């Protein structure tokens, strides 16, 4: 599963500048959330038949509002919408409020789930469809850190230890269902939008502080030599050698992620990489790996706004890192 757009953005930014404490904390929370989401997906795959379909990290937008859904499960019987929380600290819910270590929070997980469900169902109903949808807030944390003392004004929720029995019931309920998961998934994806087109990163101004250039793929050092070896760049810090083609593609993707609101151009990418000797490889990489958006004196290419390992999964190169 790809990392969410915001998590990729902040991880990339963290490698290129010193983040303020508040942003580091935000990044840490997102990393914990992603780990919990992966754990949840593994549990789904272990307990559900292969013909059920799973969609992850989906964004939907209506005029003046949008929502992000962690996981959508499509069976032959219904659509199941899951919001996953990996809460490692002590959280309690009582008298209509959430508390973290005794301190009242301004956000309400149950309200967030309800709002997301309303937007999701509105999108479907706008097309005249009335599909059965069930929503669950999942607390995936292994330790018993979440206590809910007030059962009023809560959305349906599941603790980690309840998941397997719940999924068993999902399978049982699906018997005799007539929905086509592939067709439903195709429809839901047609209504979705890319995360970077919806989420305007709060700390976008920080990218001005991000150091440009090629970083070592192994240790994130800027001390790289791009000249002394014909086909590889050499990290002067750890000795890692990476194929030039791969290093250029990786850095173009990082540039595109940081500047997700811009198309890719040869001039902007070359300026960011800052190595005149790599200009030919940059030009060739843009032509070979990225979709042409507009052709002309200054051609532009479609920006995938993803790190290389997600934008070009399984890509093989002529030369290897060593």
* Tens digits of residue pLDDT in 54-94: 999 998 888 878 888 999 999 999 999 999 999 988 999 99
The confidence score (pLDDT) of residue 282 equals 96
For the chain, helix, strand, coil in percent to 5 are: 40, 20, 40
The confidence score (pLDDT) of residue 272 equals 97
The confidence score (pLDDT) of residue 203 equals 67
User: Among 231, 204, 210, which Cα is nearest to 222's?
Assistant: 210
- Note whether 219 and 274 are within 8 A (CB): no
Chain segment 265-289, per-residue pLDDT in tens? 999 999 999 999 999 999 999 999 9
Structural domains in the chain, sorted by start: 5-198 (no CATH), 211-311 (1.10.10)
Chain segment 102-111, per-residue pLDDT in tens? 899 999 999 9
CA distance 273 to 248: 8
- Note whether 71 and 37 are within 8 A (CB): yes
The confidence score (pLDDT) of residue 30 equals 94
CA distance 4 to 6: 6
The band of 133, judged by pLDDT with boundaries at 50, 70 and 90, is very high
- Its pTM stands at 0.88
């Amino acid at each position: 599963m790809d990392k969410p757009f915001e998590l990729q953005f902040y991880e990339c930014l963290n490698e290129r500048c010193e983040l303020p404490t508040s942003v580091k904390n935000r990044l840490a929370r997102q990393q914990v959330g992603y780990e919990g989401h992966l754990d949840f997906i593994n549990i789904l795959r272990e307990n559900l038949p292969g013909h059920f379909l799973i969609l992850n990290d989906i964004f939907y937008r209506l005029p003046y509002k949008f929502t992000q859904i962690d996981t959508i499960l499509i069976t032959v019987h219904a659509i199941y919408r899951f919001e996953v929380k990996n809460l490692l600290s002590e959280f309690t819910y009582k008298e209509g409020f959430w508390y973290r270590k005794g301190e009242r929070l301004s956000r309400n997980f149950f309200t967030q789930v309800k709002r997301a469900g309303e937007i999701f169902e509105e999108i479907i109903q706008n097309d005249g469809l009335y599909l059965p949808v069930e929503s669950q807030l999942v607390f995936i944390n292994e330790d018993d850190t979440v206590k809910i003392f007030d059962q009023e004004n809560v959305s349906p929720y599941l603790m980690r230890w309840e998941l397997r029995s719940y999924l068993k019931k999902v399978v049982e309920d699906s018997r005799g269902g007539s929905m086509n998961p592939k067709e439903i998934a195709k429809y839901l994806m047609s209504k979705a939008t890319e995360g970077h087109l919806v989420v305007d990163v709060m700390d976008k101004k920080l990218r001005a502080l991000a150091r440009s250039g090629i970083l070592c793929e192994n240790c994130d050092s800027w001390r790289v030599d791009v000249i002394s070896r014909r086909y590889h760049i050499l990290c002067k810090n750890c000795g890692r050698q990476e194929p030039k083609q791969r290093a250029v593609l990786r850095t173009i993707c990082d540039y595109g992620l940081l500047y997700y609101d811009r198309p890719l151009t040869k001039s902007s990418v070359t300026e960011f990489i800052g190595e005149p000797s790599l200009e030919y490889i940059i030009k060739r990489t843009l032509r070979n790996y990225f979709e042409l958006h507009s052709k002309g004196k200054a051609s532009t290419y479609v920006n995938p706004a993803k790190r290389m390992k997600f934008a070009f999964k399984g890509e093989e190169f002529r030369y290897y890192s060593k």
